[in-house]
Amino acid sequence: MKLKKRLDCGLRGFHVAIIPKAPRSIRRRIQPKKTDEDGQVCAFELLASLARQILQEETESSSASSNASGNDHAVIGKDAVEDGRQYEDKPVKTECLDHGSCEVSAVVSESASLNCNQKCLLNEFPLVEEDDILERTLKTVGSNSSGKIGGDLKLEICKSNMLKGNFLSKAEGGSPNYRESCFNSVENAFEQLVETKAMETGGLNTATTRISKEPTELCMTFPALTDSDKDVKLPSCRDPVPNASFSRHRNDIKLGIRDDDDNLPRFNKFSNKLKVYRPVTRIGDRRIRKLLTSKYWKSAPKLKDFEHPRTGKQDGGMRPSHRKRKTCYNNEKCHRDVLYKWRRFYDRSSVETFDGGFSCESVTNSPEKGRNGNKSISGSMLQTNGMTSSAKGHQSSLRSKDSNVKFSIKSFKVPEIFIEVSETATVGSLKRTVMDAVTAILGGGIRVGVLMQGKKVRDDNRTLSQTGLASEDNLDTLGFTLDPSSVESPNLPLVCPEDPPLLLSDAPQLVARSCETPALDSECPNALTNLALLTKTETLVESNREQAISHTDILTDTTLPDSRALVAVPALNVEALAVVPLNQKSRRSDIAQRRTRRPFSVSEVEALVQAVEELGTGRWRDVKLRSFEDADHRTYVDLKDKWKTLVHTARIAPQQRRGEPVPQELLDRVLAAHSYWSQHQAKQQGKHQAAGVLKIQSPTDHSNGATTGNQL
DNA sequence: ATTAGGG
DNA sequence: CCCTAAT
């Protein structure tokens, strides 16, 4: 996989590199304009002229395709096509090429078409061409602007991008994919520039925001002109499920970033759309999970509790899994993606509230966290342990006059994330990687848990009032957790926001991931709405992670107060999706996730030791009931396993022990108890005596314990 | 559903 | 932690 990735990346890079900047003729034309008007108009003009130029050239090249040198445009188109074929094996070419041109927007439209097609076919595809073009354009402009680019450059770029977005929109019509494409391309271009400039946060933010909004609006505004149908026509989704989330990947394919090992959450929330529901039991969960396991990600703890018919159904299924995305540091595309994500992040975080009264600034943290994590990391395998499993945010809640309870979540911590990076990766790449991962998580693989007084509120069916969350007192102790969602099921039909299931009322269960497919843009808003509803209602009280649904979606959405932003998001999704390869294998892995790792704390170990001393080693269920009744995430199997490891740990040299050090005293007790119970398997029934004895025995004296046992 | 043990 | 097998 890695090799492949690299190749892909390299290939990509290569293409990009090779692609000629822009026809000189174009440049020439551009220059004058630039000089004359400068600024927005200039950008616009430039774009238009470029488009024209390209169109023309395209035509020419078509007629004389044999031309060795070929024009830039031709090359680009070709590449695009090739890519498509490479990955999809489907004849995209024809369609792409014959796609004519729409006047000014010819260039754009064409590339757009390509993209669109590619996407459709593959369900994932980057719009490299667009980017390239845009970049070129931008560069050209910049170079032409006789050195005085400075701060204006950005502005211009933004505008250009916007324009581009416009064109694209027009060309492509209302096609959702298209929109995304536009968005992406714009963003990418922009991001690149920004990146070059050093990623100044402020700048990025501002710029980003603008871009995201503008293009989106434009896109929406424009009526569908043409090729929308293309999307439909194309043999797009290989995926049985048309709406499969994968539909918009951007760089994935190129990068080939997908590996079976990756468990990172998908990047975009849309991607998680599909879910399979299944009845839930812990065991059941496990069963399912076992089928799909990823190395690094773990699903949230399972719930026990009864399952509500509905609930069970909903949460039981598989949820979208997260995939970890391996990084391609060397690839620019990757970087862009990362940036993109970053931007997304910021956008979200920046967005404050929406009428729901639920505001979430938290997202911002993630990025922060990511950075921090990076700092500390140095090996090839990084583990950012963001507070083990769940993070709670500080949130303050306000009780409104009406019966609604308003929550304000200040921040969320990002759940544990595993990142794998090459040793030679740069800090910058690491940062990006982390950011990427974080973003990905936030983008979708998260499930929200509700804590009240430190305890998880499990019953999703209860109302806030019933749960006590409607009362001021409890609100102070209200907490939320973000956990990686456990299972993802690609195969289920997505639930649209409009779908009934959407929560609300007392049985909030799950909110399906909404906007997924291409047509989604329109849907997104709904999601938002839903979110709002969710927020307002008791739905919030959710609980067990397993059962609980994944309000992830909601959560995610929540983050974006601005509907526009939401709409815009799809573009992002594309990228995110891109990460996930379509192949069955990966899919499969996506379905189940490994539970999140939750190292036992010393206190837990102590409790375990205590319980085992009293109950013996063969009664894990009793141990569970006795000492871990409230620890939903600790199953008796877990306890048994832990004991096993404890015994092992106690036997090895302290230097060889890893993780949080367990007090020697406890380890001694472990050995003592272990040896004792080993000799009294037959007597496990008569634990009373044993328990008493064990308690008495000296923690450090193994033989003593054994002896005592013998005496008994 | 538990337990035991390998991976 | 997961998975399987045996209870």
Residues A460-509 pLDDT 10s: 766 777 777 777 666 666 777 666 554 333 332 222 222 222 222 232 32
pLDDT tens-digit readout, A211-230: 322 232 222 222 233 233 32
Strand B at less than 7 A from CB of A625: no
Distance B3 C1' – A310 CA (angstroms) = 32
How far is it, in rounded angstroms, from Cα A284 to Cα A458?
A: 18
C1' of C7 to CA of A652 (Å): 32
Whether A283 CB is under 7 Å from strand B = yes
- Please compute the mean of the pLDDT values over residues A172-183 and round it to a whole number: 34
A654 pLDDT higher than 50 = yes
Å between CA of A681 and C1' of B3 = 13
Strand partners, A418: A383
Above 60 in pLDDT, residue A408? Answer: yes
Rounded to the nearest integer, the mean pLDDT of chain A is 44
**pLDDT bracket for residue A688 (50, 70, 90):** very low
Q: Give the list of residues 6+ apart from residue A590 with CB closer than 8 angstroms, or none.
A: A266, A292, A294, A320, A321, A322, A323, A488, A490, A580
> What is the reported pLDDT for A641?
92
Nucleotide nearest A284, from its CA to each C1': B1
At A485 the pLDDT is: 58
Give distance CA A656 / C1' C2 (Å).
Answer: 24
How far is the CA of A545 from the CAs of A302, A315, A437, A456, in angstroms? 6, 9, 21, 9
Q: CA at A611, C1' at C4: how many angstroms apart?
A: 27
pLDDT value at position A616? 86
Phi/psi for A569 (5° steps) reads -45, -40
Angstrom distance, A595 CA to C2 C1': 9
Closest nucleotide to A622, Cα to C1': B2
Whether residue A599 has pLDDT greater than 80: yes
Residue A674 CA, nucleotide B2 C1', distance (Å) = 20
Q: Is the CB of A279 under 7 A from strand B?
A: no
Q: Is the CB of A597 under 7 A from strand C?
A: yes
Enter the tokens of residue A699: 């923690």
Q: At what angle do helices A39-63 and A150-172 cross, to 10 degrees?
A: 50
Q: How far apart are CA A440 and CA A447, in angstroms?
A: 13
| Residue A610 pLDDT greater than 50, yes or no | yes
Reported as a pLDDT band with limits 50, 70 and 90, residue A640 is very high
How long is chain A? 712
Concatenated DSSP letters for A371-419?
A: HHHHHH--SSEEEE-SSSS-EEE-EEEEE-SSS-EEEEE---PPPPEEE
What confidence score (pLDDT) does residue A460 get?
73
Nucleic acid strand B within 7 Å of A595 CB: no
Q: What is the CA radius of gyration of chain A?
A: 28
Whether the pLDDT of residue A266 is over 50: the answer is: no
Residue with the larger pLDDT of the pair A701 and A600: A600
The answer to whether A621 CB sits below 7 Å from nucleic acid chain C is no
Task: State the average pLDDT over residues A427-448.
Answer: 70
A594 touches strand B (CB under 7 A): no
pLDDT digits (tens, 9 = 90+) for A154-173: 222 223 333 333 333 333 33
Return phi, psi of residue A481, to 5°.
-125, 150
Above pLDDT 70, what percent of chain A? 18
User: Is A633 (CB) below 7 Å from strand C?
Assistant: yes
Please report the pLDDT score of residue A637 as a whole number: 92
The pLDDT, as a whole number, for residue A662 is 87
Nucleotides of strand C within 7 Å of the protein's CB atoms: 1-4
Given this model, what pLDDT does residue A596 score? Answer: 85
Question: Class assignment of domain A602-711?
Answer: mainly alpha
Residue A144 confidence class, pLDDT cut points 50, 70, 90: very low
Structural contact between residues A482 and A300, judged by C-beta atoms closer than 8 angstroms: no
Contact A699, A668 (CB under 8 A): yes
- Give mean pLDDT, residues A50-62: 48
- Whether the CB of A624 is less than 7 Å away from nucleic strand C comes out as no
Encode pLDDT of A224-251 as tens digits: 332 333 222 222 223 333 333 332 332 2
Question: Is it the case that residue A604 has pLDDT exceeding 80?
Answer: yes
Residue A309's contacts (CB-CB under 8 Å, 6 or more residues apart) are none
Better pLDDT: A664 or A708: A664
Asked if residue A594 has pLDDT above 70, the reply is: yes
Is the CB of residue A588 inside 7 Å of nucleic acid strand C? no
Q: Which nucleotides of chain B are near protein (any atom < 7 Å from a CB)?
A: 1-7
pLDDT exceeds 60 at position A19: no
Domain residue limits, chain A: 2-236, 252-591, 602-711
Å: A248 CA to C4 C1': 39
Q: Closest nt to A621 (CA→C1')?
A: B2
Looking at residue A633, its pLDDT comes to: 86
Choose among A317, A521, A334, A515: nearest CA to A428.
A334
Q: How far is the CA of A640 from the C1' of B4 (A)?
A: 9
Q: Are A535 and A558 in contact (CB under 8 A)?
A: yes
Nucleotide nearest to A285 (CA to C1'): C2
Four-CA torsion A684, A690, A695, A696, nearest 10 degrees: -160
Average pLDDT over residues A646-664: 87
A617 touches strand B (CB under 7 A): yes
Q: What percent of chain A clears pLDDT 90, i.e. is strictly above it?
A: 1
- Give distance CA A641 / C1' C4 (Å): 15
Q: What is the pLDDT of residue A397?
A: 40
Of A109-113, A285-289, A612-616, give the lowest mean pLDDT range: A109-113
Q: Does any strand B atom come closer than 7 Å to the Cβ of A637?
A: yes
pLDDT digits (tens, 9 = 90+) for A350-363: 222 222 222 222 22
User: Which residue type sits at A571?
Assistant: A
Average pLDDT over residues A13-26: 30
